[in-house]
Amino acid sequence: MADLKKAQQRLSDKKQELEDLSDLSAQARDPVSLDQQSVGRLSRMDAMQQQAMNQATEQKRKYDLVRIEAAQRRLRDEEYGYCEECGEEIPDGRLAIDPMAELCVNCAN
């Protein structure tokens, strides 16, 4: 059976890490200036590509935050650590790697 206190701590730590990273990268997701006097065309294209990558990373963070909230809800409902497909217990090793896991290895495949 999963150690629920450790699971809650892992989820809280991961949530804090994602929120901190989001705050740090906020400026990198801002619109790119199109002023050709201050930045050349290739540099501007590089900046736009970097911005797009940062926005995609932020979308992944938001998705993970939703998964964390779902895992915390499963903890409250005493359903954490059980596969949502088959109902089998999710191994502690899998939960240690991905504390938001909602499926066992068999169902995830």
Structure tokens at 99: 């504390």
Task: Tell me the whole-structure pTM to 2 decimals.
Answer: 0.75
Residue written as token pair 């909230």:
69
Q: What is the mean pLDDT of residues 13-31?
A: 83
- CATH annotation of 4-24+41-108: 1.20.120.910
Structure tokens at 96: 């240690």
CA-based angle 80:83:84, to the nearest 5?
Answer: 90
Integer Cα distance of 93 and 47 in angstroms: 40
CA-based angle 9:27:37, to the nearest 5?
Answer: 165
Looking at per-residue pLDDT, the higher value among 66 and 4 belongs to: 66
Model confidence over 28-82: pLDDT tens digits? Answer: 666 655 555 555 566 777 877 888 888 899 899 999 999 999 999 999 999 999 9
Whole-number pLDDT of residue 36: 56
Q: Spell out the domain ranges in the chain.
A: 4-24+41-108
